Structure 1
Amino acid sequence: MSIRNLDRMFHPASVAVIGASNRERSVGRVLSRNLLSGGFEGPVLPVNPHATAIGATLAYPDVDSLPFAPDLAVICTPPETVPGIVDTLGRRGTKAAVVITAGFSETRSEEGRRLTQAILDAGRPHLMRIVGPNCVGILVPGIGLNASFAHMQPKSGDIAFVSQSGAVVTAVLDWATHRGIGFSHLVSLGNMADVDFGDMLDFLLADSKTRAILLYVESITHAPKFMSAARAAARAKPVIVVKSGRTAAAARAAASHTGALAGSDAVYDAAFRRAGMLRVFSMDELFDAVESLAYGPRIVGDRLAIVSNGGGIGVLATEALSDAGGTLATLTPETIGRLDACLPATWSRGNPVDIIGDAPGSRYAEAVAAVLENPGTDAVLVLNCPTAIADSREAARATLDVVRGAGAKRPRPPVLTSWLGDGAAAEARRMFAEARIPSYETPEQAVRGFMHLVRYRRHQTLLMETPQPLHEWTAPAVEAARAVLGAVAAEGREMLTEPEADQVLEAYGIPVVRTLTAATPAEAGRAAGRIGGPVALKILSRAISHKSDVGGVRLGLEGDAAVKAAAEAMLATVAERSGGATVDGFTVQEMAAMPHAHELIVGVHRDPVFGPTILFGKGGVEVEVVRDSAIALPPLNSVLAQDLIGQTRVHDLLRGYRDRPAADLEAIQRVLERVGQLALDLPEIAELDINPLLAGASGAMALDARIRVAPAVDAAPPAIRPYPGHLAHQAVLEDGSTVSVRPIRPEDEPGIAGMLARSSQEDLRLRFFAPIRQLSHESAARLTQIDYGREMAFVAVEDGELLGVSRLAEDPEGETAEFAVLVRTDRQKRGLGERLMSDLIGYARDRGIAVLHGTVMTENRRMLALCEKLGFERRLVPDDPGIAELRLRLGTPPAGGR
């Protein structure tokens, strides 16, 4: 389920309070008072078997006695009574409930889990949505709905705050009320037995009164649903998240370096980044971020110009900027000349622009105007500290006048402000707030706000980047890899030997070093002779994971005798250091000839919430000491792989320095993409280490690999739905020609642009309902970078060119979907449109979608005829006879939605 009946939850016509009370300081009393006094215009129906009235409002003894079924019920009765109450409400027709009561799954007891499931079982037949249990409640200030036991009424606004913690909701309410911050929704999710973050993100995405969404997250349930909803919401409005528990260590000991490095908080961070959300680390920072993102337009870089009437506060801002990874904008000679003409001779002649403490409003205006027009400026921070010889309010008014004027002439960099102190500064901050210009109490907060803009831009840009075309390489031999894993599992082992791990990597086209196995020291010597040249000798043991820790690795050995002697010595060393662990033999590897190569690590870890994760960073034996790594969620493409590499410090080294050449970044990128595919194809792999992955100017090669397997049934599914390649097929058209039909890929953005360029303006007008010459990059990216969990688009490809596309977008319940189709003008009349629509209809039917619908201009006779042929029903839109609505009934959706 998703947003089904959440309109009854957050826009009810009537509310019942089950467990209402007159007893002071009771939850039932506070709930009743908040609902009755909050300004809610619908009827409030208290239920209490022992009271005639709650306050001055008539009470009812039980749910069956209510005069009608309320849209929303708020329940605060003992936990054992809740399932029965939910069942009774559902039978009467109530569609939403908030369960305040605690004593359920949060107790971690069998009885608590049983009661939680009983609530869900009671509500499911009636499609009732439930917030909680164990929550503070919900508040919708715009309609006066306060269905909570919060201690104050919030102001109405356009920010939604959703939290697992009820205590955080009340703390934020208190904090925000005293600062004049209002909300569209305040929601305490509690245990999230039913309604969770994914549901709320879908609902708030569609809510026109919500401008920004704030989340306080302790844990995520149903990660695929969360990621799908989060990516959709973050494309449309700022989504800012605080995640608690970020310093918690991994819950279990890991058999691989990847497992040790991939702590749960790092995975959450990767998920938030992939979704395009902005993560912050405190409540103060949360609302600073809202102010920055909601007021400030998007920026194009991280170069900040600072204008200040005090050198000290300018230095503080500069230091904060450097610490946060930002950059001071460089002032051009022309800008410096312009500032020379309007500022005292003692000005700083650089950035920060110190306009001196006696600066009147006119000096502020001239300086701010100059840096706004400086070509290297991405944003401007204007600072003011109070002095006895200048008016802070005058400086604020002058700054406002310049900002308004600059905005009227052309797009301008965003302006952020920080007026220090109280008194006149407070009045200046009020003026900026009314003009929707971000304003902060300190320079450090202002810089942090600027960096929120920078980080948010980076995340949003990542969502819209067009990857390079897929690398042409042989499809992975998935069955061959699975055969290796199956043989290991059949023997009851968890760890693959190094040769077995190499076979899995080779199946996915990941280069590995030539390796031979040997059972005895003598065989190891002979293997070295067959390889020739220097070799690496390693112990082969199913009982030893980290070979170097027990003296099981020797490098650069030459000659049969040297290898045989090293193997004999290694047996004694390993026996002593490993406590007598079983040794199965040796591996003899060719020493890779890669001058100036870097040792990297690439790994896979199965997170219990988000499923497979990919780790990249600085490798080698000191990997867990250096801890220079980053994590991403698969699948990866060229853009995402580049971003993952760029998050690490070793990235700077890989680009080359002094006399050391740059490493082949594309080769590293290909390894990451293939490891990402491996992680999706083989859920049996619980952990994988390639350490080191040797990377130099001539490519990348896995020198050592470690893989641990576990039953695939225990693995969490991927948080992001992978590319549905199994839907690709060949289609024969009416003229006998064959085209490839497959799901759309992000790499198809240039193909979409080419298809539109080869389509007539008339065809484009009929498809888009308006004249169109070309799509912006953002629009084209949105059409090609789809969420395969809630959207689908099929493209027809011939000789590498896109000929047509059909697409559908599901509603949040998965019951209906809207369709659209376009065929390139010069490729029409071949039956391509019918082929694409038929594929779309088949896909929708397989998904369990009940109705496929769309709108078509009545003058688009070819499309209307095609839809009639395919069985669509047609009706005219009453208020627009030029538009026809088309509907195709496919069947009955699954009970309770999907």
Structure 2
Amino acid sequence: MTIRNIKTMFRPRSVALIGASQTPNTVGNVVARNLFSAGFEGNIFPVNPKYKTIEGRPVYPDIPGLPVVPDLGIVATPPDAVPGVIRALGEKGTPAAVVITAGFSEGHNRHGEALQQQMLDAARPFRLRIIGPNCLGIMVPGIFLNAGFSHIHALPGRIAFVAQSGAVITSVLDWATYRRIGFSHLVSLGDMADVDFGDMLDHLANDNRTRAILLYIETVTQARKFMSAARAAARMKPVIVVKAGRHAESARAAASHTGALAGSDAVYEAAFRRAGMLRVSDMQALFDAVGTLAASQTVSGDRLAILTNGGGMGVMATDTLIDKGGRLAKLSPETLSRLDQVLPPTWSHGNPADIIGDAPGTRYAAALDALLDDKNVDAVLVLNCPNAVASGTEAAQAVIELYNSKTRTHARPKTLLTSWLGEGAALGARQLFTENRIPTYETPAYAVRAFMQMVRYQHNQEMLIETPPNVPERFTPDTEAARSVITRAIDQGREWLTGEEAKAILTAYRIPVAEPRAARTPEEAGAIAETLGVPVALKILSPDIVHKSDVGGVVLGLESPGAVRETAADMLARVRAEHPDARIDGIMVEPMIRSENAHELIVGMTEDPQFGPVLLFGQGGTAVEVIRDKALALPPLNMHLAREVMERTQVYRLLKGYRQRSPACLESIALTLVKVSQLVCDIAEVAELDINPLLADEHRVIALDARIRVKPAAEDTSRRLAICPYPRELEESIRLPDGRSLYVRPIRPEDEPAFQNLFSSLSMEEIRLRFLHYMKILSHSLAARLTQIDYDRQMALVLTDSPEHAGENRLYGVVRISADPDNERAEFAILLHSDMTGMGLGPMLMRRIINYARKKGIREIYGDVLGDNSPMLKLARAFGFRVRPDPDDPGVMLITLKL
């Protein structure tokens, strides 16, 4: 499949409506009326053998009889006819269709599911893309296309809205039209048999008519495609999502703490956060987001100033701000002095700035002018409570005129939000704000929520390009040792590893564990305690008992070998009596790990049906499911992402230290998360994992207990992950002719400083030849995009020092490809420092990236080369590239290689 057909779908030159009707209030009739009345300038071909004309237009009896190949087919026939219609469209050459008809897979109807598969089978040979079935249709207001059965035509704008629900589309459309807010696209995906959110994100990210993307999601299909598309789109423009079904009752019962804690909605939250999207909670928040985006406002921080003519409303807005994690701006002395000069003596003399109920427009303007000039203020919220003394409309006009004058004189004016309370008296003011692209909200709470949405979005964007620190210690896991333990358990038909096996897995991944010793009898347990030294802990050893403490299978702090023998005997007898079917292999004896400053944490992993493995971090211990202090993240993790997960929990505030308690070793905790992430990425047979408790103090972390569930792997290790992990298999050592050892490996996010150093070492001429123009500096955002790549769609191989090299590793060269979402064509580029030329390194890097592209199934790689870059053109010709001038730029040569 290809998104190029999707592009045609939203820029058609001609549309065929199959199932057009003259019968009033039928879907075929409403769609025909919308198509004809919206003003679409292309050809519209109604198709129905029953009619000669519809809406005064000629009707064609069938698809083969159409005079031209339509770019888009709209299908409104009965469901049994749809597969044949799709086949006929494909045979005609139509690249895309919207199937409005219902009656397919919804409700798990077997006949409908069979019809849907027949529809997809009919489309596949022709690479015909389908939106739907069971959808409202699509609208592209910029070309006056309304190919659906909505009740009104959308206004043109630069916001795209994509939803599974047609009812949500019409609700947002009605709300936005009243406020004169327009859209670039309105797309109802329906059952998503083919085109899904990932496809739409790929299309809209590269659509220059779309400035922001709104999504209403009920479920996600093809998680990896979705995550790749979402991460790419969110780097380019705002992506805001509302997810329905936050409290699904279908959450499965889980045997591990992690499984019990990781609900499906929390996983979606983690996915949206990782992609850099902004999630909002409900339809009102979505409406507010539409209004905010339509106003094209951005925010630089979370410090809000509140300007109001009613003190109570200012206080309520402040409460909402603090509740949502924002900050009330501390006004500077200069600002307070300015306000004293223009406001009555009875004003509040602080923030919120209550300018008194009788405030006219001039007072609003003067106060707003001072607040916008304050460097301690990131945004201003202006409130107006209606009264009989001062005109709210006059105040609105004054605010607008002052802000517009500021906009004309400031390159980037402060963010301004407004809320005029009430209904009748406030409607005119709200309309004025909308017309002047100033966000306005029905209540102060909605306004504050919108402001904090903007703050969260900005934070997500900054996280997307934040350079992670290097891993503080090089750890090389013994993956084969871990795999052998897991393979043995699977071969024996066991689902859960023993405690001893689980700790062996952690040891293989360099996670410190409390060393356990197995005892078959109480006497043996006492002898082990005498050897280890007391105090010790006893834990029942059984592959059939997952939560040992729930059955009395854990006893801590035994102070003598005699107490150990007695307790062990009691434990074995009790557990055998209460669980006669469980296999009891004996007792685990562990030294007690005691630290007055230690925190009990949990690190875990479980599998989500949509997104695959999900990692969990939070406060641990026996009450972990009661406390429910946890945060989720999708693997793979680096140190930066691990710290971000930790920061989203309540226990993190304790880990930073308080009163006389020293901070925990945060770096070691984050590194443990990275190691668990690596384990999950390496071994697909790990289905569920708990380290609980993970004890952390100021010096170290140590795993006191661990549970690991395993199962035969159903697919390639990396394919089960929603985000493609670092491909270690591409690492390779090479030896130069002078005897030096270098290393070729995929680029990592941590490489940004070294990449910046490589760029700064280039001459201006080298920069021009590589980047096609002169650049004095490489911006952080561009460097982040070049080093923080999506390994599923991009690859960059770097030439660097070997891992054994002492000191800071340098980058000497980079070769990269960036594939389109179809994985059919990929743009390539190569950069090699001049000091490294003449040793065959350029051809070596080219050969490896070409071989990689072939293995990925990419059909063609291409690039732009300056006409005077003779070495690069020579290299390209040596590898069989076709070289030809760019018809649009005579100074550039286009080079392409069919694979």
Tell me the TM-score normalized by structure 2. Answer: 0.96
Question: Which residue of 2 is the match for residue 118 of structure 1?
Answer: 118
8 A contact 1:795–1:805 mirrored in 2:
yes
The residue aligned with 1:780 is 783
Superposition deviation, residue 826 in structure 1: 3.8
Q: What is residue 843 of structure 1 aligned with on the other side?
A: 852
Q: Which residue of structure 2 aligns with residue 375 of structure 1? A: 375
Contact 2:861 2:896 in 1 (8 A): yes
Q: Which residue of 2 aligns with 1:882?
A: 891
Query: Partner residue of 2:534?
Result: 533
Higher mean C-alpha deviation, range 67-76 or range 752-761: 67-76
Partner in structure 2 of residue 790 of structure 1: 793
- Counterpart secondary structure, 1:260: helix
Q: What is the alpha-carbon distance in structure 2 between the residues aligned to residue 411 and residue 93 of structure 1?
A: 49
Amino acid at match of 2:589: V
Shift of 1:422: 4.5
- Stretches of structure 1 lacking an aligned partner (at least 5 in a row): 891-898
Superimposed CA distance per residue, residues 69-93 of structure 1 (whole angstroms, 9 cap, x where no aligned partner): 2221111222222212211221121
Per-residue CA distance 1:414-468 (angstroms, 9 max, x = gap): 1212222355643433333333222222211110110011110111111111100
Q: Which residue of structure 1 lines up, in the alignment, with residue 699 of structure 2?
A: 698
Distance between the aligned counterparts of 2:192 and 2:517, measured in 1?
54
The answer (yes or no) to whether the contact 1:808–1:840 under 8 Å persists in 2 is yes
Instruction: Give the match for residue 73 of structure 1.
Output: 73
Question: Does residue 1:475 correspond to 2:476, yes or no?
Answer: yes
CA distance in 1, matches of 2:182, 2:375: 37
1:485 corresponds in structure 2 to: 486
Task: Tell me the amino acid that sits aligned with residue 767 of structure 2.
Answer: L
Matches within 5 A, 1:418-429: 418-422=419-423, 425-429=426-430
1:605 equivalent to 2:596? Answer no
- State how far apart, in whole Å, the 2-side matches of 1:34 and 1:175 are: 19
Asked whether the 8 Å contact 2:181–2:294 carries over to 1, the reply is no
- The C-alpha deviation readout for 1:91-125, integer Å capped at 9, x for no partner, is 12111111122222223133322222211111111
Aligned to 1:357: 357
Contact 2:602–2:691, Cα closer than 8 Å, also in 1: yes
Determine the structure 2 residue equivalent to 1:894: none
Distance 2:390 2:107 in 1: 61
Q: Secondary structure at the match of 2:213?
A: strand
SS in 1 for 2:438: coil
After superposing the two structures, state which structure 1 stretch, 347-356 or 40-49, moved more.
40-49
Q: Does 1:834 align with 2:847?
A: no
**3-state DSSP of counterpart to 2:758:** helix
- One-letter amino acid of the structure 2 residue matched with residue 704 of structure 1: D
Matched, 1:23 2:32: no
Given residue 659 of structure 2, which amino acid in structure 1 is its aligned partner?
R
Report the Cα offset of residue 576 of structure 1: 4.7
Amino acid across the alignment from 2:675: R
Of 764, 770, 774, 1:771 maps to 774
* Further displaced range: 537-546 or 32-41: 32-41
* AA in 2 matched with 1:811: D
Q: Specify whether residues 179 and 365 from structure 1 end up closer, same or farther in structure 2 by C-alpha distance, changes over 3 A only.
A: closer
Q: What is the match of residue 322 of structure 2? A: 322
Whether contact under 8 Å (2:160, 2:214) holds in the other structure is: yes
Alignment of 1:552-563 (within 5 A): 552-563=553-564
Answer whether contact 2:600 2:621 (CA < 8 A) is retained. Answer: yes
In structure 2, give the amino acid aligned to 1:802.
L
1:297 is displaced (CA, Å) by 4.4
The offset of 1:623, in angstroms, is 0.8
Asked if the contact 2:172/2:287 (under 8 Å) is kept, the reply is no
Distance in 1 between residues matched to 2:66 and 2:366, nearest whole Å: 68
Alpha carbons 2:543, 2:583 under 8 Å: kept: yes
Which residue pairs with 2:334 in the alignment?
334
The answer (yes or no) to whether the contact 1:805–1:823 under 8 Å persists in 2 is yes
* Whole-angstrom CA distance in 2 between matches of 1:70 and 1:744: 45
Question: 749, 760, 764: which is aligned to 1:746?
Answer: 749
Structure 2: 5+ residue stretches without partners? none
State yes or no: 1:265 paired with 2:292: no
- Give the superposition deviation at 1:2: 4.1
Structure-2 change in CA distance of 1:456 and 1:469 (3 Å): same
Amino acid at match of 1:645: M
Identity rate, percent: 56
Match of 1:169 in 2: 169
Aligned partners of 2:377 and 2:869: how far apart in 1?
49
The answer to whether the 8 Å contact 2:159/2:294 transfers is no
Tell me, yes or no, if the aligned pair for 2:306 and 2:352 is still in contact at 8 Å: yes
Name the aligned partner's letter for residue 220 of structure 1: V
Question: 1:507: which partner in 2?
Answer: 508
**C-alpha deviation, 1:294, in angstroms:** 5.1
Name the SS for the 2:714 alignment partner.
helix
> Partner letter of residue 69 of structure 1?
V
What is the 5 A alignment of 1:432-451?
Answer: 432-451=433-452
Residues in 2 aligned to 1:387 and 1:713: alpha-carbon distance in whole angstroms: 68
Residues 1:231 and 2:231 aligned together: yes
Q: Secondary structure at the match of 1:64?
A: coil
Task: Give 1:653-692 correspondences, 5 Å limit.
Answer: 653-692=654-693
Cα deviation, 1:559-584, whole Å, max 9, x if unaligned, reads 21110001111123324544663322
Return the offset for 1:389. 3.2
Residue 521 to residue 612, structure 1, CA distance change in 2 (3 Å) = same
Greater shift, 762-771 or 568-577, is seen at: 568-577
Correspondence list, 1:84-95, <5 A: 84-95=84-95
Deviation string 1:461-480 (CA, Å, 9 cap, x unpaired) is 11111100123333211121
CA distance in 2, matches of 1:836, 1:297: 44
Q: Which amino acid aligns with 2:535?
A: P
> Contact between 1:293 and 1:452, CA under 8 Å: does it hold in 2?
no
Instruction: State the partner residue of 1:47.
Output: 47
Paired position in structure 1 for 2:246: 246
The residue type paired with residue 266 of structure 2 is A
| Deviations 1:136-190, CA, capped at 9 Å, x for gaps | 2111122222221222222222211111122222232233223322221111111
Q: Which residue of 2 aligns with 1:809?
A: 818
The answer (yes or no) to whether the contact 1:249–1:264 under 8 Å persists in 2 is no
Question: Whole-Å Cα distance in 2 between the matches of residues 183 and 111 of structure 1?
Answer: 37
Q: Which amino acid aligns with 1:370?
A: A
1:284-333 deviation digits (Å, cap 9, x = unpaired): 21121233345354433322111112211111110111121211111233
Partner of 1:348: 348
Specify the alignment match of 1:586 in structure 2: 587
Query: Which residue pairs with 1:728 in the alignment?
Result: 731
Distance 2:72 2:254 in 1: 47
For 2:297 and 2:55, locate their aligned partners in 1 and report how far apart those are by CA, in whole Å: 49
Q: 1:879, 1:497 → 2: CA distance? A: 67
1:628-685 deviation line (CA, Å, top 9, x unaligned):
1010000001111111001111111111111211111111100111111111112212
**How far apart, CA to CA, are the structure 2 residues paired with 1:277 and 1:461?**
12
- Secondary structure of the 2:649 match is coil
Structure 1 window deviating more from structure 2 (855-864 vs 419-428): it is 419-428
CA–CA distance in structure 2, aligned partners of residues 411 and 88 of structure 1: 54
* SS at 2:418 equivalent: strand
Within the alignment, does 1:821 sit opposite 2:824 as a pair? no
CA distance in 2, matches of 1:151, 1:879: 44
Contact 1:139–1:146 under 8 Å retained in 2 = yes
**Paired residue for 1:548?**
549
Does the aligned pair in 1 maintain the 2:364–2:399 contact within 8 Å?
A: yes
The answer to whether the 8 Å contact 1:240/1:290 transfers is no
> One-letter code of the match for 2:511?
I
Distance 2:136 2:661 in 1: 60
TM-score of the two chains, using structure 1 as the length reference: 0.96
Instruction: Report the AA paired with residue 258 of structure 1.
Output: T
Deviation digits for residues 249-298 of structure 1 (CA, Å, limit 9, x no counterpart) = 45321010100111111000100010011111222211212333453544
Corresponding residue for 1:859? Answer: 868
Compute the RMSD of aligned alpha carbons. Answer: 1.9
SS in 1 for 2:822: coil
Match of 1:893 in 2: none
Distance apart, 1:215 and its partner CA: 0.8
Instruction: Tell me what 2:720 maps to.
Output: 717
